[in-house]
Amino acid sequence: MVWWFGEFFMAVAHQSPAKDAPSPPAFFILFPVMWIGFMGMWVVMLVIAIVYGVKAGRGECAEYPVLGRRARKVLKIGPGVAPAPLTP
């Protein structure tokens, strides 16, 4: 993800604009929108981490928001049941 920002800024920096040309408007529109999006994702991940941390502290079983149901089908276990430990 970090490399994408680097490429974005390098592409903007290496453009050879015409003399007295203004900065590209996409830079001033796209960058704040992307920043707000990434900050929003960070806040969502933080809230999910807190919620699942509280559930774990209570000893409750919690599954992943998106892949939990699918993972339980693959492992063939019911909801709220921990998978059996592997035996050597």
Predicted confidence pLDDT, tens digits, the chain (88 residues): 566 666 776 776 666 666 676 767 777 778 888 889 999 999 999 998 899 889 888 887 777 777 877 887 888 877 665 656 666 6
Residue 50 has a pLDDT of: 93
The pTM of this model reads 0.52
Cα 78–Cα 82–Cα 88 angle in degrees, nearest 5:
120
Residue 46 has a pLDDT of: 94
Residue 70 has a pLDDT of: 83
Residue 69 has a pLDDT of: 78
Report in angstroms the alpha-carbon separations of 84 from 70, 75, 77, 81, 87: 17, 10, 9, 9, 9
